[in-house]
A = this chain, B = another copy of it.
Amino acid sequence: MGNGERMITAEVGIRVRYQETDQMGVVYHANYFTWFESARIELLDHMKCPYLKLEKMGFLLPVIQCEAKFLKPAKFDDRLVVRVSLNKVPAARITISYEVFHDEVLLCTGQTIHAFVDRSGRLIRPPNDFLDCAKKYFKK
């Protein structure tokens, strides 16, 4: 990253809920996307740009694409760490990456892509507050 490109990262702890398991005895796959959400919220907090504030200003950040790879199952009562990172200067589309760990073993990787929309669902430019927050991390 000789060009000064950096990234923004954060972490959130998750304790697996019984409700999140299924009869395979492991966590149901769709629940990882909820944990990704918790990590994303933490990332925005870390950037001093909390999602609640963005939404109150009329900026929504829906998921327009998402994916995950499941390497090993998470289990009830596991205390997981979800590492989240924003690797590129955010543009019209914002790509966020996730890794879920249990005892430093990687269980899952994933990615979500977002766009800012207004209350009516129309695509809009990311709010300046958000861009300014983000650029601090990526500028040299």
Pick from B22, B25, B69, B76: contact of A65, CB below 8 A.
B69
Q: In the complex, are the beta carbons of B34 and A31 less than 8 A apart? A: no
Q: Within 8 Å of chain B (Cβ to Cβ): is A138?
A: no
Q: In the complex, are the beta carbons of B22 and A22 less than 8 A apart? A: yes
A interface SS class:
mixed
Pick from B17, B51, B68, B69: contact of A34, CB below 8 A.
B17
Closest residue of B by beta carbon distance from A109 = B65
Chain B min CB distance to A14 (Å): 10
Chain B min CB distance to A76 (Å): 6
Chain B min CB distance to A67 (Å): 4
Chain B min CB distance to A123 (Å): 12
